[in-house]
Structure 1
Amino acid sequence: MSKVAKIVQFHKLGGPEVLQVEALPIPEPGKDEVRLRIKAFALNRAEALFRQGHYILQPQFPAKLGYEAAGVVEAVGPGVDESLIGKTVNTIPNFSFSHYGVYGEVAVVPVTALGTYPDTLTPEEGASVWMQYLTAYGALVHIANVGPGDFVMLPAASSSTALAAMEIVKAEGGTAIGITRTATKKADLLALGYDHVVVSDDEDVVKRAAEITGGTGARIIFDPVLGSGIEVLAQSAAYKGIYFAYGLLDRSPTPFPVWSALSKALTLRGWAFPELFHDAEALRKAKDYIFRHLSTGALKPKVAKIFALDQIVEAHRFMDSNDQIGKIVVKVEE
């Protein structure tokens, strides 16, 4: 058995080209850790930000990256049940890039990061579960209690998290309104299940929201973009609506929409899925909900494109292009 494996690292900040596939010694898991033989891993915006030095953590070089993977447990560290060896698992992103990363043929992760996915999913789909569905579930179900009659506006409608949110809104009987910048993806987004898609470059978003909602506005807005667009979306909200900010794709200043907040008694709330990790019962409910709905097909990860491990630079370039609809995944050949 080989004592080395291909693992992605980077040694300086920058664009996709800083990523390198390197042959490194296979690491041994420490206390409360496991080593996975990776079958597939998924890309997330956080990893591009980390690569560029714009994330909440700064890399310590050489740096690994990657939150989400699917694979098989091949070794366990002290304090870990040996019966896990041979189990097919995926990773819940409850760890820090300061210590862990799953881009590669093998990865060591905390045993607490192990999740499961239905065997009806491929490894590529199994690697595309927890980041998007925990983010969407926590805001929409755990906090906002989305249900029948609710209108939900979803900017960045082609992103994996917005697609996950759309599926959850539909599963709970609400109406999902996707917001996309250009008309290029509109037909595909409607085919994937959105009830309505508004093209912000071509349409008056406030007017269209009023038409769709019968003048009431959207009770929930789930926004990873922010920037100046917050003003328009806040005007589209319902009275006593809730506006979730869960990202900052637009890095320009984000004004506080004071008049909409006052006139609509609007709640503006920051949201990040690690909040669920502070509430064991809420996390248990989230995991049960997601697994159950994956099993029934109500939730189905959308994989935009699959790359090979040696194409990691191209995979990150594709992520930076914003041309994808859904998750970008790297398949690791056995």
Structure 2
Amino acid sequence: MTTTVRFHATGGPDVLRLHDLDPGEPGPGEVLLRIDAIGLNRADILFRSGNYIESVRQFPAGLGSEAAGVIEALGPGVTGFTIGQPVSVIPNFSQNDYPLYAERALAPVTALIPRPDSVDAVSGAAVWMPYLTAYGAMVEIAHIRPGDVVVINAASSSVGLAAIHTANRLGATPIAITRTTAKRQRLLEEGAAEVIVSGEENGLGQGRRDGLGQGDGQERQGGGLASSILELTGGRGAEYIFDAVAGPGVAELARAVAPDGTLFLWGASSGQPTPYPGFDLGMPALNLRTYTVHEITRHPERLRRATAFVSSGLQSGAFKPTVDRLFTLDNIIEAHKHLESNTHFGKLVVTVPR
């Protein structure tokens, strides 16, 4: 029996419960893992609350799609991995099928990445989802080129930080959006060329922005989020905007997309309906595209390229895991509350003590 997190109805963090369950034996294409660390993602919150892009199939349900651990058993026919091998688990499966919030759990072999001895479990659970997400959207889909301007909202999230690092590695110019001044300096230290502080209320509309790189480094008053982006780009707009919030705010962001540019929707943390803004804006040459990391992790050739790209960035030091805080499995409710607070900077990781 192993300690496992389950929830019996959708809702807030308090629906999470610890149970002693048998993880089962691995079947064909599966392994049994001893879990050492679990990476928390916004998708976990959305799935738990019933607002994810897929619904809970049955209760009790589990959570988790990113982790690091050690292989304890191999299913029939599994090759390329060995018992006792450290691995990272990347999200290429449904949380309905392989939930990872547990001391021991089954995982599909297609989701495993070998973890070198030099990479500890916390780093192994924190680094892959953010950088695979950023790589897929920016390289595989957008084909970002040197000199392109890239705007990233929710920039202090693990994906937002990975996007800043990836944009810099590609020679693009990352503009970060954050809701308060509290995270401005850290975003600059992470490589943001500019930081727009959008406001305390909903992250959109009126707000202050810091026009660093414009000569004096002083705070300026912006006339709105789109106006700030347009001013920073000399009126041209951004070639790419990556929106993790969605909802009605896409109309404001769309005003700042350069002609033939693309607004990527790679999250929906607002929980509100998302309109297509092109008609209200006079039908500009606007591309609007949804994107999830599964476009990379469920495509073997794309995943091969993504793994090589991220690995080289880690080796060179251009990429790194940014961990805000560690929790233990028995404090999973507090971990989810902290993730929902949006006060974190980078990744939250749950460790599984032995």
Q: Same fold (TM over 0.5)?
A: yes
Q: Which amino acid aligns with 2:230?
A: A
- Corresponding pairs, count: 331
Equivalent in 137, 142, 145 of residue 144 of structure 1? 142
Q: Would the alpha carbon gap of residues 262 and 277 (structure 1) be closer, same or farther in structure 2, given more than 3 Å must change? A: farther
Q: Percent identity?
A: 47
Unaligned runs of 5+ in 2: 200-206, 209-223
Partners of 1:105 and 1:323 in 2: how far apart?
Answer: 27
Query: Does 2:6 align with 1:30?
Result: no
Query: Does 2:16 align with 1:19?
Result: yes
Q: Which amino acid aligns with 1:36?
A: L
Equivalent in 303, 309, 317 of residue 337 of structure 2? 317
Select between 202-211 and 192-201 the one with higher mean Cα deviation.
202-211
Partners of 1:59 and 1:192 in 2: how far apart?
Answer: 39
- TM-score normalised according to structure 1 size: 0.94
Q: Would the alpha carbon gap of residues 24 and 277 (structure 1) be closer, same or farther in structure 2, given more than 3 Å must change? A: closer
Partners of 1:53 and 1:248 in 2: how far apart?
Answer: 13
1:223-302 correspondence to structure 2 within 5 Å: 223-259=243-279, 264-277=284-297, 279-302=299-322
Partners of 2:305 and 2:131 in 1: how far apart?
Answer: 12
The equivalent of 1:218 in structure 2 is 238
Deviation at 1:126, TM superposition (A): 0.8
Partners of 2:250 and 2:286 in 1: how far apart?
Answer: 12
Select between 247-256 and 114-123 the one with higher mean Cα deviation.
114-123
1:34-183 correspondence to structure 2 within 5 Å: 34-55=31-52, 56-81=54-79, 84-183=82-181
Contact 1:159 1:327 in 2 (8 A): yes
Q: Matched residue of 1:258: which SS?
A: coil
Q: Would the alpha carbon gap of residues 118 and 208 (structure 1) be closer, same or farther in structure 2, given more than 3 Å must change? A: farther
Contact 2:66 2:91 in 1 (8 A): yes
Deviation at 1:269, TM superposition (A): 1.0
Deviation at 1:129, TM superposition (A): 2.5
Partners of 2:109 and 2:226 in 1: how far apart?
Answer: 47
Q: Which amino acid aligns with 1:110?
A: P
Per-residue CA deviation, residues 166-211 of structure 1 (Å, 9 max, x unaligned), is 1100111111111112222212222222111101122322222123
Partners of 2:50 and 2:98 in 1: how far apart?
Answer: 17
Unaligned runs of 5+ in 1: none
Select between 164-173 and 206-215 the one with higher mean Cα deviation.
206-215
Partners of 2:28 and 2:283 in 1: how far apart?
Answer: 54
Per-residue CA deviation, residues 14-68 of structure 1 (Å, 9 max, x unaligned), is 2111111222224211121101111100111111111112221224112111000
Q: Matched residue of 1:311: which SS?
A: helix
**Higher helix proportion (structure 1 or 2):** 1
Deviation at 1:83, TM superposition (A): 5.0
Q: Matched residue of 2:126: which SS?
A: coil
Partners of 1:32 and 1:239 in 2: how far apart?
Answer: 46
Deviation at 1:95, TM superposition (A): 1.2
Deviation at 1:119, TM superposition (A): 4.3
Q: Which amino acid aligns with 2:170?
A: E
Q: Would the alpha carbon gap of residues 300 and 118 (structure 1) be closer, same or farther in structure 2, given more than 3 Å must change? A: farther
